[in-house]
């Protein structure tokens, strides 16, 4: 068969025309050692810090340690079918998290995969790197709007503002998560998107929290990012960063965001495990030297943006678990120094039935008072001091039965106030009702009620006040004036009379001069 050279010539010319001079660079390496979720890789000389690398079985990892002859990679998924000599390649991307309104009402893992059985994510506006610099000083604005928690003890004495970082700290089983969840539940109808980051928790606990938020209708504006205890330490390490990345997208759109990190103690432990396995030098309590920077760069991403940038905000509620009430340990002191205040919960208060078990003396809100509603500020100014006096006298009264009349008044009033601050889970109180209750406390109307009836009396007030015209006036003005105070005084005298009339064998003269109620 004769060869037609012209045909070959045309074919070659056609191929030259179609030839695109594209150079595809692909750097591959191989595994030197593997184990405990850590892979040491050789051959990836140009890999970036925190870059995603892909293994031959489709698993991914993050390059965390860049050394002269090898790269330390932490695994993000199962690695059991990998072995020494297996190939690994660069992706050229750093780890990213999905962002957008499609995440509301969903439960995802730290790499953005849905784990709630509701199918794929929809309405995702894109993906963003989980590591980014926090906004600078000039791009921020001071905290000036209140974030309503619906918890009377917090909103009155330890107010939180939008853009604040308020630490919730205490021993295990003292109601820390409950405070955070109640705050999320109270954001219903307030245009605040919420993110709950579960770090190192049991699967059953995350399922229980999801169920509670669904039952209260809070899941509609909440995203849960879950890295459970059964998963690799690397997922616990990146979970809070994925959570705040989701929140930052909403903040840039001018929205208000509330994010809960539950908890950063487990986050620190996960990072310590990774650092020790990567052979980084250990420091105090075997934590690596950059453990402070880990939490500071995370929490600094919360804040209130300036009006020019849309005035959005991220309010952070990190949770820290202490051991036997020791708030002077390494991680607690680190996070206390980073945040704008702390709510300290104690086992003794919790076991005595005081829930939420907030120790007012050790708790503080450094910037929230600037954001407090005027109506609440007017009636809660002396409350913290009164409770401090009560606690001091209560301690001494245990050693002496002979008390003067003045001391008895302080002790009885303090006991009633503590009863007023008791609040069941998932039952938030709106700020107008809080202001009314605090007015009753300040003006000593609760002195007429026996201590064991205070909780029922509180419910009685909350039921009656919403039917009264003065409620709408306080809601509109957000402050007390002479007219409102006059109407509220008449309201309280009326509810005290009505409530005490239902009590068997009640003798009002034991509590004060009955003429005061006329």
Statement to judge: residues 199 and 72 lie in one domain: no
| Range name among 293-302, 389-398, 463-472, 496-505 with the lowest pLDDT average | 389-398
Reading the block at residue 489, the tokens are 């005084």
Statement to judge: residues 362 and 417 lie in one domain: no
8 Å CB contact between 301 and 242: no
Residue 135 lies in a domain: yes
In 3D, which of 192, 179, 261, 252 has the Cα closest to residue 226? 261
Q: Give the Cα separation of 313 and 215 in Å (integer).
A: 27
Statement to judge: residues 443 and 458 lie in one domain: yes
Tell me the torsion sign for CA atoms 9, 10, 12, 13: positive
Q: What percent of the chain has pLDDT over 90?
A: 85
174 in a labelled binding site: yes
Statement to judge: residues 385 and 266 lie in one domain: no
Which one of 252, 280, 366, 444 is the catalytic residue? 366
What mean pLDDT comes out for the span 338-356?
A: 96
Statement to judge: residues 134 and 38 lie in one domain: no
Given 93, 109, 143, the domain boundary residue is 93
Statement to judge: residues 146 and 34 lie in one domain: no
pLDDT tens for 182-232 read: 999 999 999 999 999 999 999 999 999 999 999 999 999 999 999 999 999
Residue 342 lies in a domain: yes
Residue 2 lies in a domain: no
170 in a labelled binding site: yes
Residue 6 lies in a domain: no
Given 41, 66, 93, the domain boundary residue is 93
Q: Give the Cα separation of 405 and 333 in Å (integer).
A: 42
Instruction: Tell me what the pLDDT averaged over the chain comes to.
Output: 93
173 in a labelled binding site: yes
Statement to judge: residues 316 and 432 lie in one domain: no
176 in a labelled binding site: yes
What mean pLDDT comes out for the span 10-16?
A: 79
Statement to judge: residues 61 and 180 lie in one domain: no
Q: Give the Cα separation of 136 and 207 in Å (integer).
A: 37
Query: CA 332 → CA 259, 263, 358, distances in Å?
Result: 19, 11, 17
8 Å CB contact between 209 and 242: no
100 in a labelled binding site: no
Collapsing DSSP to helix, strand or coil, 191 comes out as coil
Residue 279 is a catalytic residue:
no
Looking at the DSSP bridge assignments, the partners of residue 256 are 192, 313
What's the pLDDT at 3? 59
Residue 433 lies in a domain: yes
What's the pLDDT at 194? 98
Statement to judge: residues 88 and 105 lie in one domain: no
What's the pLDDT at 480? 94
What mean pLDDT comes out for the span 40-49?
A: 94
322 in a labelled binding site: no
Instruction: Count the residues in the chain.
Output: 518
Statement to judge: residues 447 and 481 lie in one domain: yes
Statement to judge: residues 455 and 355 lie in one domain: no
pLDDT tens for 350-395 read: 999 999 999 999 999 998 788 999 999 999 988 999 999 999 898 8
- Phi then psi dihedrals of residue 18, to 5 deg: -80, -10
What mean pLDDT comes out for the span 458-472?
A: 94
What mean pLDDT comes out for the span 147-159?
A: 96
Number of domains in the chain: 3
Structural domain boundaries enclosing 48: 28-93
8 Å CB contact between 97 and 116: no
What's the pLDDT at 23? 66
- Asked if the model's pLDDT at residue 2 lies above 70, the reply is no
Which domain CATH number covers 207?
3.40.50.300
Q: Report the range out of 19-28, 363-372, 509-518 with the highest average pLDDT.
A: 363-372
Which domain CATH number covers 49?
2.40.30.20
Q: Give the Cα separation of 392 and 411 in Å (integer).
A: 10
- Asked if the model's pLDDT at residue 244 lies above 60, the reply is yes
Which domain CATH number covers 416?
1.20.150.20
What's the pLDDT at 24? 64
pLDDT tens for 317-326 read: 999 999 999 9
Residue 160 lies in a domain: yes
Residue 9 lies in a domain: no
What's the pLDDT at 354? 96
Given 75, 93, 111, the domain boundary residue is 93
Residue 407 lies in a domain: yes
What's the pLDDT at 483? 95
Reading the block at residue 308, the tokens are 């020019």
Statement to judge: residues 259 and 289 lie in one domain: yes
8 Å CB contact between 436 and 471: yes
In 3D, which of 131, 138, 149, 170 has the Cα closest to residue 303? 138
Residues with Cβ within 8 Å of 63's Cβ and at least 6 positions away in sequence, in order, are 41, 44, 47, 48, 49, 50, 51, 52, 53, 71, 72, 73
8 Å CB contact between 359 and 345: yes
């Amino acid at each position: 068969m004769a060869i037609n050279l012209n045909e070959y010539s045309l074919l070659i010319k056609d191929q030259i025309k179609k030839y695109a001079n594209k150079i595809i660079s692909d750097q591959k390496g191989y595994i030197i050692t593997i184990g405990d979720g850590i892979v040491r890789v050789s051959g990836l000389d140009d890999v970036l810090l925190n870059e995603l690398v892909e293994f031959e079985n489709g698993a991914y990892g993050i390059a965390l340690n860049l050394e002269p002859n090898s790269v330390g990679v932490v695994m993000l998924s199962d690695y059991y079918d990998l072995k020494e000599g297996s190939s690994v390649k660069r992706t050229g991307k750093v780890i990213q998290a999905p962002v957008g309104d499609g995440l509301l009402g969903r439960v995802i893992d730290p790499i953005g995969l849905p784990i709630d059985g509701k199918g794929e994510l929809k309405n995702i506006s894109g993906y963003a790197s989980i590591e980014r610099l926090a906004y600078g000083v000039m791009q921020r604005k001071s905290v000036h709007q209140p974030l309503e928690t619906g918890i009377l003890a917090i909103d009155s004495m330890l107010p939180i503002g939008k853009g604040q970082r308020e630490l919730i700290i205490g021993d295990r089983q003292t109601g820390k998560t409950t405070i955070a969840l109640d705050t999320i539940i109270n954001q219903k109808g307030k245009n605040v998107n919420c993110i709950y980051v579960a770090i190192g928790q049991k699967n059953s606990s995350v399922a229980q929290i999801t169920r509670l938020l669904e039952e209260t209708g809070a899941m509609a504006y909440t995203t849960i990012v879950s890295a459970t205890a059964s998963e690799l330490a690397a997922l616990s390490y990146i979970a809070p960063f994925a959570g705040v990345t989701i929140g930052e997208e909403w903040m840039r759109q001018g929205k208000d965001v509330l994010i809960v990190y539950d908890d950063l103690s487990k986050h620190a432990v996960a990072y310590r495990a990774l650092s020790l396995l990567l052979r980084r030098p250990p420091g105090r309590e075997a934590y690596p030297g950059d453990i402070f920077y880990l939490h500071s760069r995370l929490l600094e991403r919360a804040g209130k943006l300036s009006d020019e940038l849309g005035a959005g905000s991220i309010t952070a509620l990190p949770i820290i678990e202490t051991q036997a009430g020791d708030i002077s340990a390494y991680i607690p002191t680190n996070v206390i120094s980073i945040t704008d205040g702390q709510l300290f919960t104690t086992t003794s208060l919790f076991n005595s039935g005081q829930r939420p078990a907030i120790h007012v003396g050790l708790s503080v809100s450094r910037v929230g008072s600037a954001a407090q509603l005027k109506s609440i500020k007017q009636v809660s100014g002396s409350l913290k001091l009164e409770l401090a006096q009560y606690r001091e006298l209560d301690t001494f009264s245990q050693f002496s039965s002979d008390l003067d009349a003045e001391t008895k008044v302080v002790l009885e009033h303090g006991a009633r106030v503590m009863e007023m601050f008791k609040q069941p889970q998932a039952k938030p109180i709106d700020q107008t009702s809080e202001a009314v209750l605090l007015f009753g406390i300040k003006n000593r109307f609760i002195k007429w009620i026996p201590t064991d009836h205070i909780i029922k009396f509180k419910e009685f007030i909350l039921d009656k006040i919403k039917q009264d015209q003065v409620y709408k006036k306080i809601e509109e003005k957000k402050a007390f004036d002479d007219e409102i105070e006059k109407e509220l005084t008449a309201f309280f005298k009326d509810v005290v009379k009505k409530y005490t009339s239902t009590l068997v064998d009640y003798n009002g003269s034991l509590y004060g001069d009955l003429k005061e109620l006329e």
